Amino acid sequence: MTAMLNVRDLRAYYGQVQALHGLSFALNEGSLTTLLGANGAGKTTTLRAICNMVRSTGAIEFEGKPLSGKSTENVVRLGIAHVPQGRGTFTTMTVEENLQLGAITRTDKKNIVADIERMYEHFPVLKERHTQQAGTLSGGEQQMLAVARALMLRPRLMLLDEPSFGLAPLIVRDLFKILGKINREDKVTILVVEQNAQLALELADQAYVIETGKIVMSGNAKEIASNEDVRKSYLGY
In this structure, the strands spanning 189-194 and 157-161 are parallel
Please answer whether residues 194 and 164 qualify as being in contact, where contact means their C-beta atoms are separated by less than 8 angstroms.
yes
- 3-class DSSP state of 189: strand
The closest of 64, 48, 27, 39 to 188, measured between CA atoms, is: 27
The 1-40 contact track toward ligand ATP, x by CB under 6 A, reads: -------------x--x-x-----------------x-xx
* Min separation Cβ 221 and ligand ATP, Å: 19
Instruction: Indicate the residue among 40 and 139 with the shorter CB distance to ligand ATP.
Output: 40
Instruction: Indicate the residue among 23 and 95 with the shorter CB distance to ligand ATP.
Output: 23
Instruction: Count CA within 13 A, CB hemisphere, residue 36.
Output: 27
Please answer whether residues 68 and 93 qualify as being in contact, where contact means their C-beta atoms are separated by less than 8 angstroms.
no
Distance (Å, whole) CA 148 – CA 125: 12
The yes or no reply on residue 42 touching ligand ATP (CB under 6 A) is yes
The yes or no reply on residue 41 touching ligand ATP (CB under 6 A) is yes
The 123-162 contact track toward ligand ATP, x by CB under 6 A, reads: ----------------------------------------
DSSP-assigned letters across all residues of 43-101: HHHHHHHHTT-SEEEEEEEETTEE-TT--HHHHHHTTEEEE-TT----TTSBHHHHHHH
Binding to ligand ATP (CB under 6 A): which residues in 180-199?
Answer: 195
Question: Of the listed pieces 2-10, 26-34, 42-50, 229-237, which binds ligand ATP according to CB under 6 A?
Answer: 42-50
Give 186: exposed, middle or buried? Use CB within 10 Å, 0-12, 13-18, 19+: middle
The yes or no reply on residue 215 touching ligand ATP (CB under 6 A) is no
* Min separation Cβ 111 and ligand ATP, Å: 34
Instruction: Indicate the residue among 50 and 152 with the shorter CB distance to ligand ATP.
Output: 50
Distance (Å, whole) CA 135 – CA 143: 11
* Min separation Cβ 214 and ligand ATP, Å: 12
* Min separation Cβ 130 and ligand ATP, Å: 31
Instruction: Indicate the residue among 19 and 26 with the shorter CB distance to ligand ATP.
Output: 19
Among 31, 34, 44, 189, binds ligand ATP (CB under 6 A): 44
DSSP structure class, residue 224: H
**For binding to ligand ATP (CB under 6 A), which residues are involved?**
14, 17, 19, 37, 39-45, 195
